[in-house]
Amino acid sequence: MSESISASHLETENELATALPFAQSHQLNQVFGDDGAFARHLPHYRARIEQLEMAQAVTRALNDVGCALLEAGTGTGKTFAYLAPALMWGGKVIVSTGTKTLQDQLFERDLPTVRQVLQAPVSIALLKGRNNYVCHYHLDRVLLNGRLSSRDDIKHLNRLKKDLNIVKRGDKSEWPDIPEDATVWSQVTSTRETCLGSECPNNKECFVMQARRDAQAADVVVVNHHLFFADVMLREEGVAELLPAANTVIFDEAHQVPDIASVFFGQQVTTSQVIDLARDLLAEGITHARDALNWADIKDTLERAAKDFRIACGADNGRWSAAQLPADAPLWAALDKLQEILNESLVQIEPVTVRADTIGQCAERLHNLIASFEQWQSQAGNSDMVRWVEALTYSVRLNATPLSVAEGFTRQRESDHMRTWIFASATLSVKKDFTLFKEQLGLHDAITASWDSPFDYAQQGLLYVPEGLPEPSSRAFGNVVLEKIWPVLKASNGRAFLLCTTLAAVKRYAAWLDEQIRAHDLPWTLLVQGQASRTEILNQYRAATNPVLVGSQSFWEGVDVRGEALSVVIIDKLPFAPPDDPVLAARLKVYEERGENGFVAYQVPQAVISLKQGAGRLIRSETDKGVLMICDSRLITKPYGKRIWQSLPKFARTRHERVVTDFFEST
């Protein structure tokens, strides 16, 4: 049986303390109390009962070597609440985060702070995926081959070479002025397929190997969810080797875990991999065996087959269930042709692999690609997997996604030896109900606890759902949304996030806002997702006087802008998954076969968690004030709407524009 501890049951710290030995309860009070260690050492620290209670719940899970799902609203201080007990308890700790930004923050700021305050004699390490570390071998190879041609590429390349002996970790984050999407990164980092391993001439100075050695030796290792699952599934030398020694695994931003686990418990293969391999084959072939084969012809043939596959999927981007595509659909013949050419290419280059290790490496990549396409085809009869095709602008991705990761994740938790598992997030439940999250990961034995944010949302914020909105399915919806948001933006003088559920909406609303800002000659700065990296856009936002940011999923979570710079968050519509999602359709069918309403049991809770993340961008401190505007009448008109808005923080609510303008005039 699982236990449930709700915030209402934890009104005083003594109630949870009864589950802890007196010495532990007293020790936590000495850390988190009004006169505790944090208050003495950190000037702006404020003792919060919610934080203390969360630390007690973590300690209880550590005592029981159990599993805990802990939801703590914005401002609770959940990072310190799980770090302090973990460091005090001891043993090997893995902390996994949803984003590399939070990963860096934990390693560079939060962990050193907690370690210093507690005077804990623990070592810490940061471990990322290998594509985050500059590879000495690949950097030298690019310099030698001169494969980068743009002025920016050359500038970035020279900068990397110049700094290589003075950086600490060789991590991309140590070059913040080189854009995250710069071409140079894919050329100077390695992948599992392109790493030479022990055969590499730079093995001793390899940043990846050093990071892994540091992680092996450290008491606390900070990873991210993508690395955690990719590494464990592939059984590489990183997390997979760390896990057997770990006493505690903590997932922060844990609401992301089910979706990320689905990717790594499933399978993906894309035509982009074919094109990348074709270009590497040309470069290595000309360098090491120019006379052996017509490398340009091999490259062109592979590229053409990959592009023909994309053309066969139709002009538009889209996603389709493989089971629902007719047997005579053009893409099947194109896929067969691509696989045929992959096999023919492997036969051609295998005799030449003796010329150079790098050609042999390309052959191995080609062999693995062939196996991936064949494996995807072989999943056709697997009722536990959803096979689906995704046509992107320039490529095709073949996906096989499990209907559920609960069984696989349960096996992972129970493998090796017993350890404590902590799942922490601001958004894990719907009105304190953790049912969906527990079902998704098979965490039926977990204790659960939830704490509301300590912020006074009724005084600090206002939830506004405009009157007169058509249904989102209406053709008039977009135009009416723009009519409704413009008075709010003028009242707030910009200083807004407009969060959209689709990239198409981002483009449409951004173009319209650009016209309005120019027409009214407003001193606002319009920032749009895709113009630069997320980090750069946020830096520009914080530096601007009257910014307006239009973004999609990337800006719904993991973004922290405090103060007056962000005074209104506008959400265009409730974030239900797109109706063309083949995995969603298959999962809903499972609910229907069980006699349940899949929309109520699955889609609504998923939308609630996403909406809570978006809404959480608004109030980030005790002094923040702002308006949350949701342009979706279903919040009011549909039976499930009440369940959704009741899961949001307890904002004051209105449907009247005048109340909103008065709010801004009074702040």
CATH fit for domain 266-394, picks 3.30.310, 3.40.50, 1.10.287, 1.20.120: 1.20.120
Q: Provide DSSP, 322-336.
A: GGGS-TT-HHHHHHH
Which tokens sit at 490? 């003028």
- SS3 state at 547: strand
The secondary element (H helix, E strand) that includes residue 527 is strand 525-528
- Work out the mean pLDDT of the chain and round it to a whole number: 90
Q: Provide DSSP, 259-278.
A: HHHHHHHSEEEEHHHHHHHH
How far is 520 from 522, CA to CA, in rounded Å? 5
Cβ-in-10-Å burial (0-12, 13-18, 19+) of 70 comes to buried
Q: Provide DSSP, 468-523.
A: SPPPTTSTTHHHHHHHHHHHHHHHHTS-EEEE-SSHHHHHHHHHHHHHHHHHTT--
pLDDT of residue 125: 95
238 pLDDT higher than 60: no
The closest alpha carbon to 583, from 329, 324, 333, 377, belongs to 324
How far is 428 from 434, CA to CA, in rounded Å? 6
pLDDT of residue 239: 61
626-630/568-571 β-pairing: parallel
CA angle 657-659-661, nearest 5°? 70
pLDDT of residue 74: 92
- Of the pLDDT bands very low, low, confident and very high (cuts 50, 70, 90), residue 1 is very low
pLDDT tens for each residue of 412-445? 888 767 899 999 999 999 989 999 999 999 999 8
More confident site: 176 or 575? 575
- CA gyration radius for the chain? 26
385-391/318-321 β-pairing: antiparallel
Tokens 């609303």 -> residue:
509
Q: Provide DSSP, 392-459.
A: -SS-EEEEEEES--HHHHHHHHHSSS--EEEEEES-S-BTTB-HHHHHHHT-TT-EEEEE--SS-HHH
pLDDT of residue 17: 46
Which residues, 6 or more positions from 95, have their beta carbon under 8 angstroms from its beta carbon?
Answer: 83, 86, 106, 220, 221, 222, 223, 250, 252
317 touches 391 (CB < 8 A):
yes
424 touches 451 (CB < 8 A):
no
626-630/547-551 β-pairing: unpaired
- SS3 state at 380: helix
The secondary element (H helix, E strand) that includes residue 246 is strand 246-251
How far is 76 from 58, CA to CA, in rounded Å? 14
What's the pTM? 0.88
For 534, phi then psi, to 5°, come to -60, -45
Lowest mean pLDDT among 74-83, 572-581, 595-604: 572-581
For 654, phi then psi, to 5°, come to -155, 160
142 touches 187 (CB < 8 A):
yes
Which tokens sit at 288? 């090491």
CATH fit for domain 457-666, picks 3.40.50.720, 3.10.520.10, 3.40.30.10, 3.40.50.300: 3.40.50.300
Q: What are residue 223's DSSP bridge partners?
A: 96
Q: Do domains 4-122+219-256+404-451 and 266-394 have the same CATH topology?
A: no
pLDDT of residue 14: 41
How far is 199 from 190, CA to CA, in rounded Å? 14
pLDDT tens for each residue of 538-553? 989 999 999 999 999 8
Share of the chain above pLDDT 70, in %: 95
- Of the pLDDT bands very low, low, confident and very high (cuts 50, 70, 90), residue 4 is very low
pLDDT of residue 598: 92
CA distances from 340 to 272, 292, 370, 374, 570 (A): 17, 22, 9, 11, 50
Which CATH number applies to 4-122+219-256+404-451? 3.40.50.300
121 pLDDT higher than 60: yes
How far is 408 from 134, CA to CA, in rounded Å? 33
Lowest mean pLDDT among 130-139, 183-192, 208-217: 183-192
557 pLDDT higher than 80: yes
pLDDT of residue 10: 42
Counted residue by residue, the chain has a size of 667
pLDDT tens for each residue of 309-334? 999 999 888 999 999 899 999 999 99
pLDDT of residue 40: 94
284 touches 362 (CB < 8 A):
yes
The closest alpha carbon to 74, from 435, 561, 597, belongs to 561
How far is 262 from 259, CA to CA, in rounded Å? 5
pLDDT of residue 197: 82
Single-letter amino acid, residue 468: G
Q: Provide DSSP, 41-108.
A: H-TT----HHHHHHHHHHHHHHHHT-EEEEEE-TTS-HHHHHHHHHHHH-SEEEEEESSHHHHHHIII
Domain spans of the chain, in order of start: 4-122+219-256+404-451, 130-208, 266-394, 457-666
pLDDT of residue 553: 85
20 pLDDT higher than 90: no
- Of the pLDDT bands very low, low, confident and very high (cuts 50, 70, 90), residue 2 is very low
Q: Provide DSSP, 573-612.
A: S--PPPTT-HHHHHHHHHHHHTT--HIIIIIHHHHHHHHH
Which residues, 6 or more positions from 415, have their beta carbon under 8 angstroms from its beta carbon?
Answer: none
The secondary element (H helix, E strand) that includes residue 283 is helix 271-289
How far is 66 from 60, CA to CA, in rounded Å? 8
pLDDT tens for each residue of 55-99? 999 999 999 999 999 999 999 999 999 999 999 998 999 999 998
- Of the pLDDT bands very low, low, confident and very high (cuts 50, 70, 90), residue 401 is very high
Which tokens sit at 144? 């030698």
CA distances from 478 to 173, 388, 491, 512, 661 (A): 38, 30, 21, 11, 22
How far is 603 from 613, CA to CA, in rounded Å? 16
